[in-house]
Structure formats: C-alpha cells, structure tokens
Amino acid sequence: MKLSHFAFISCFLATTSVKAQSDFYNSDTLVEVRIYFQEPNWDYILDSLFVEGNEGRLMGNLVIDGASYFNVGVRYKGFSSASVNRTKNPFNIKLDYAINNQNHLGHDKIKLSNVIQDPSFVREVLSYEIARKYMPASGASFANVYVNDTLIGLYTSVEAVNKDFLIDHFGTKNNAFFKGNPQSLDLNGENSNLGNSAGTDSSDYYSLYDLKSNNGWSRLYELIDVLNSDPTNIETVLNVDRTLWMHAFNYGLINFDSYVGYAQNYYLYEDHNGQFNPILWDMNMSFASFRLADASEFWDGFSIAEAKTMDPLLHYNSVSVYARPLMRNLFENSTYRKMYLAHMRTIMEENFDNQDYYNRGQELQALIDTSVMNDTNKFYSYADFQNNITSTVSDLVDYAGITDLMDARSTYLNAYTGFSGAPTISNITSSTNPSVGGDLTISASIANANEIILAYRYSSWDLFQTLPMLDDGNNGDGSAGDGIFGATLSNIGNAIEYYLYAQNDSAGRFSPERAAYEYHTLNFNASYKDLVVNEFMASNSTTVADQNGEYNDWIELYNNTTSIISTSGLYLSDKIDTLFKWAMPAVSIAPNSYLIIWADKDTLQNGMHSNFKLSSFGDQIVLVYADSTIIDSVTFGSQVADVSLSRSPNGTGNFTVIPTTFNANNTNLSVENSLSQTPFNVYPNPATKKFFIQSNFNEAVSVQINSVDGKLVSTFYNYPPNSWIKVDADIYSIGLYFVTLSSPNQTLTKKVIIQ
C-alpha cells in the first residue's frame, strides 16, 4: 500500500526516536531503505530525467532503518547499469537536496547500486572491504530498497566519494578534485588516462575529466605534464605509493572496469602536500566480471582463463595499445616495479592465499541469502547467486566463479618474478629513552637485500623523508656485516611514523607490509612548555577570518623548541575537568613556528577546527596528553571583542594585551608602549576599521575624540576604572585624530591615525 504524504508525516513523528544503526556502511548488517514519492508515475519521471542526462532529481521522502527525512532528491545513477526498461535501477539520493545539512549518520548522499554484472551479489562489498586495508576507499554494505512500500530488491550501498569522504581521509576538502569520467566514453580511445595527447592547455581536458571542486584544472594539467614529460619528478605532484596500491589491487583482483580497461571509474584528489591521490570507485565488475579490455595485449577482450594468468606488468613487459602513462611511466622505474609487486603480494597473502576472501564471501552470502530470494527483480537466478562464489555463471557473458578465478590467480602470482625471493625484515628496534631534540636510532635484522631505506615523518600530514639503512658498524647497527642495518635521526621531534623498505635485484618488501598506508609509530611526551598556548581570542567578530570567511574564536600554539613538535596524542580542551575533549589531528609544527586552531565546533571544515568554542565571559585552555600530562594551560577572565591575549615575550612570557599578532611573533610590546606601563593606550595605531582604548585609570573616565581641526567627533561617558572602549573607526574620515581621557583628577591625550 502506498504511504500517503500525511501518513509519512505521522510515520516521521513516530519514528524519529528510533535508534539508527551506528555505522551505515557496516557490511555485517542489512539496511532498510524506503523511498516515498507522491507521484504515482515516479518511475516514468525518473526514466525521463535519466534520458535527459542533466542529473535532475525528483523530490521524495526517505526512511532509513526507521529514521525519516523529508524532501530528498532522487535520480538514477550509473552508465550501463541504469535503463528505462528496467525495474531495478540504481539510485542516487541527495538528503540535503532541499533541507540544508540534512544527513543520515553524517552522510548527505546515499548511492545504491543494483548489483548488475554480479550473480554472486558480493563482488562490490567484498572488494571494498579488501581495498580499505590498503588505501582510502568507500564503505559498502547491503540494503533492501522499497519504493512506496513495494520491494524493488537488494542493493549495495556504497559510500560517496565526496567532501565528507575527503575530510575523513585527507583532512581537507576544497583542493583540486576530479573524477576520471569522460563525457563520452571512447571504447577505442584514451579517455581519462592522464595522457597528454589532448593538448597543451588545461581546457583541452575539460571533456575527459569531471571537475568536482571549484577549481583545479591547472593543477590537473601539471600532473599530466609531469607524468608524461618529466616522470622522474612525479612524486612532486603524485602520491606514487597510493597509486601503486591502486594498480596492485586492480591487477590482483582483475578489477579492470577501472583505470586499466577504459581509463575511468577513479577519482583524483590533491592533498595538502600538493600530491594527487587516486581513489578507487565502482567495483561491481571486479573479479573479472569486466573483461572487455586491458589496453595492452588484450585490448579487444580476454577470457576467464587469461584473467587467471594476467601479467601484472603487461604495460611494462609488453605494449600499451591505448596509452596508460600512470602505469607504464611508473613501471619504468625499477624500484616502483618492485614496490608495486610487493604491495600485490601483500594483498594476495592477506586475503587469498589464506582463503580469507572465500570465508568472508560465504559470510556475506549467508547474510543476504533471504533477501536475494525475495528479490524478484534481480538479474540472475537464486541458483546463480549460490553458485557464482565458486563457479562460473553463464548469462549474456560468463561471470567468473570468484574462488575458481582467485585460487588460480594466487598460484600464478606466487610463482611470478618479484613475488618470491624478497628480502626478510625482522627484529626492528629503536634506541631507548629518546627525547625531543635528541637522536634516535632504528635498526633491524634484514637478509637478502642490497638496498634498504628508512622512511620517516613526524605527523600523518607530512611527506615521508628517507634515509639509507647501513650495516657498517657506524649507524647503531652493531658490528659491520652482521646483518643488522641501522639509521640515526638527529634532532627528533616527539612522535615518529616510519616504515622500512628493502629490495634486491628482483623483489622488495615493506615493514609493515601495508606501508605506507600503515606504519610503525614511536611516541613520547614533549616536555612542559615545549608547546605553549601563545595567543588566543575568545571573541572574534572582525579581526581575522578562517578559510571559510567566518570570524571565530582562535587559539595560537607555538613551538618553543628547535625541533619539530607533533600534535600526535595531544588533546585540547576548554575544561580542566574534561581534559580529553578534542583529540588533535596529528600535524607537525616546525621549530619556533605557530599553529592556529579555530575554536568553533566546525570540525568538518578545512584546517584545524576544535569541537568546542571559547567563552568570552572567561574560560580555560588546556593542552594535555592521554596520560593526563599537561603541556600547557591557561585560565582567563572576561574578554573584550576583537582583543587577543598574548604571551610577551613570545612563547615564554605572561599573558597581556598587545596588538594582535595572529600566527606571528608577539614582538609589538615594548616598555614605552606597554598597556600596563601607561595610563591609557590606543591600538592598533594606525587603525582602519576599529581601534581600542584601554584605560588604566583607577577611576571612572570619559573620552572625547577630536579631528585635527578641533572638531568634536565622538564622546563616551562614565566608563568604569580599568575599562575597555571599542571605537568603530570605519565611520571616520582618513586622517589624524586626538583621543582625550578625562577623570576628576587627570586628563591625558594621545594621537591616533585613521588610514
């Protein structure tokens, strides 16, 4: 029975208190999604919008596991998976289509795939589970989808790669962001391959990539130019390790409806270091469901048997019929080739050699078994669903049995040069009792290697730097030639993230195996006042805006040391009795440098935004480690708008009022202009939009402001002792003015310039 609009409202009122699933993309649970349209011909309308191709949406209402949402926008999604002749079409649901900030468990867009090209029903969810071990990748789960209370079928729900995803995985969201999604897919062309044949201007690439950010075309063209013309410097614009993981995943699982086959179905995001990161997308045709092309020897398609023994280095060992520079140009580097194969070996060992994927596939199929039986609009039979986890299912094409494919592929790859014969890494140790500014030695037992590097950084936002590890007896490695290799870092910070990589003539190995996505860590507390609250403003209305143009409270931290200090493991709070209020993102602060935290509760914005605000009536700021070790703390009283409190001298002194020095040294305070040393002061001077008068008179005062020709401009009466006065200067003409403070016992005058 169709739910009327009135009935939906009643349902909403009755169900908003239902506890929603804590993780929408928990693949061990089944989600229920109910879409309601008022239009009885909703399917015709959605078909028409799909044919028009302008991504128009039909407004409806939505219930997800009992949580209800009004006025969402619904359209079909996909290229070949949607059709006007199908009942079970994929959905793209925008929750904030008409209501700002409406979301379900933090997700404002729900993408539902109709499980076409996959008789097993588990390809997409299983593939994303594997991918998330090694790189940022979407969550994926299963959902029973109803429209107007009629079951449409079982879908896979895949997390959108959008700004929320970017914040979660990169800490930023407004940098250059593209999807490899050509406007017109050329089955015999280059598509979104990052080749440079389209031209020498960024505009030549508009039709080949889908811009998801406000700008970024020049950055994309720089990536294309360096990749094709100067690949030896590719790491300046590309996260090479992340790219090698993507290639290893695609070739390991024969996921060729990707960059490999038609050079599409992937995203690129530029992180804060200026490196582009590839992001996987669209996995319903993984495990050799897509076999139309590999852009190399099998450019016109390949069989299941050929998929089992697909050479992972065809774009190096053989030809590229259609250019794939993101593979070929990287594979020209012998170290990159060994790293790539090491990553693929890790994927195979951790998921396929041990049969974990088969066990997991069975668990997922057991979860959805009844739902598949009840799905009368599925594209394959229930028997096909049961069989395809192990055996080939023949329909319009042959869909490889997942275990039949992957067991054979595992056998083939384990015999592949670069899989076997890799170095071994064990017994990793570090020097004891390291401290900020000291030395740190890392050593390990390593065999069968002729080149070893230590890659390290001081926070997750930094790029890894490298040092050679040697067995010469001079690098904390014991005796020369004893098989123990070491490297020493000097002037270390308080946190180290690192991994080891060793290679010989044919193969490489990482420690940990999932590096650089995972890494070893060493953390030790910085000392008291190594990092301090250096300046803060608890009432910012016009002084300085954040990256979003908003005037919010802010806190400036300062690194008092000559070493890098990481915020890893640190918490910031505005309450001494709630020390662990905000776990700080792990960023590094250079020696004698600053970090700004916006205390605005806008944790999803770019930059450092805490989950608390400061109170202008008085508050606390506490910087603390998880073991309750306090690094610095400040308690302050009532604050005046647009006035900061600053340490003077910078980094070490007591807090006082001086002109604001946001993200800079507090050097503007001297004996002759110190507010505490004069009866009153005016600052900033010269002023623009506003200035402040601080009276240090011990009695009430009145203020008058006169222009240089003596004309009275403003008067302020009976301000209490030791008070603040804010003056809006933007109503004054440019020029020189005289500020006079008067009390029963004294009168003083100072000059102020409005510019």
Q: Domain 531-656 is in which class?
A: mainly beta
523 within 8 A of 508, measured Cβ to Cβ: no
Range from 286-295, 606-615, 714-723 that averages highest in pLDDT: 286-295
Range from 629-643, 713-727, 731-745 that averages highest in pLDDT: 629-643
717 Cβ partners below 8 Å, 6+ apart? 702
pLDDT for 17 beyond 70:
no
pLDDT for 658 beyond 80:
no
Q: What is the mean pLDDT of residues 268-284?
A: 96
Three-state secondary-structure class, residue 33: strand
Closest alpha carbon to 131 in 288, 259, 272, 242: 242
Of 130-134, 264-268, 458-462, 502-506, where does mean pLDDT reach its minimum? 458-462
Q: For 110-150, what is each residue's pLDDT tens digit?
A: 999 999 999 999 999 999 999 999 999 999 999 999 999 99
pLDDT for 248 beyond 90:
yes
**What per-residue confidence (pLDDT) applies to 321?**
96
pLDDT for 8 beyond 80:
no
452 within 8 A of 502, measured Cβ to Cβ: yes
Judge whether 531-656 and 675-754 match in fold. yes
Residue with tokens 């061990």: 28
Q: For 66-97, what is each residue's pLDDT tens digit?
A: 999 999 999 999 877 888 889 999 999 999 99
pLDDT for 710 beyond 80:
no
Of 121-135, 160-174, 342-356, where does mean pLDDT reach its minimum? 160-174
- CA 336, distance to chain mean position in Å, is 24
**What per-residue confidence (pLDDT) applies to 520?**
97
pTM score, whole prediction: 0.85
Between residues 17 and 185, the one the model is more confident about: 185
Spatial separation of the C-alpha atoms in residues 557 and 555, rounded to whole Å: 7
Domain spans of the chain, in order of start: 5-163, 166-346, 438-456+487-513, 531-656, 675-754
CA distances from 144 to 93, 154, 478 (A): 15, 5, 61
**What per-residue confidence (pLDDT) applies to 2?**
34
Q: What is the mean pLDDT of residues 156-169?
A: 94
202 Cβ partners below 8 Å, 6+ apart? 217, 218, 220, 221
Of 151-160, 499-508, 533-542, 689-698, where does mean pLDDT reach its minimum? 689-698
pLDDT for 285 beyond 90:
yes
Spatial separation of the C-alpha atoms in residues 380 and 437, rounded to whole Å: 64
93 Cβ partners below 8 Å, 6+ apart? 35, 62, 72, 73, 74, 109, 110, 111, 112
pLDDT for 338 beyond 60:
yes
Q: For 566-590, what is each residue's pLDDT tens digit?
A: 999 999 999 888 889 999 988 999 9
Spatial separation of the C-alpha atoms in residues 475 and 485, rounded to whole Å: 8
**What per-residue confidence (pLDDT) applies to 709?**
67
Q: What does pLDDT average to over the chain?
A: 90
Please classify residue 565 by burial: count the beta carbons closer than 10 Å to its beta carbon, then call 0-12 exposed, 13-18 middle and 19+ buried: buried
Banded pLDDT at 697 (limits 50, 70, 90): confident
pLDDT for 721 beyond 80:
no
Two tokens, residue 348: 């195979």
**What per-residue confidence (pLDDT) applies to 431?**
87
pLDDT for 708 beyond 70:
no
- CA 373, distance to chain mean position in Å, is 38
**What per-residue confidence (pLDDT) applies to 158?**
96
Q: For 190-203, what is each residue's pLDDT tens digit?
A: 999 999 999 999 99
Q: For 524-570, what is each residue's pLDDT tens digit?
A: 888 999 999 999 999 998 888 888 889 999 999 999 999 999 999 99
Q: What is the mean pLDDT of residues 316-330?
A: 97
Domain 675-754 has CATH 3.90.870.40: no
pLDDT for 671 beyond 70:
no
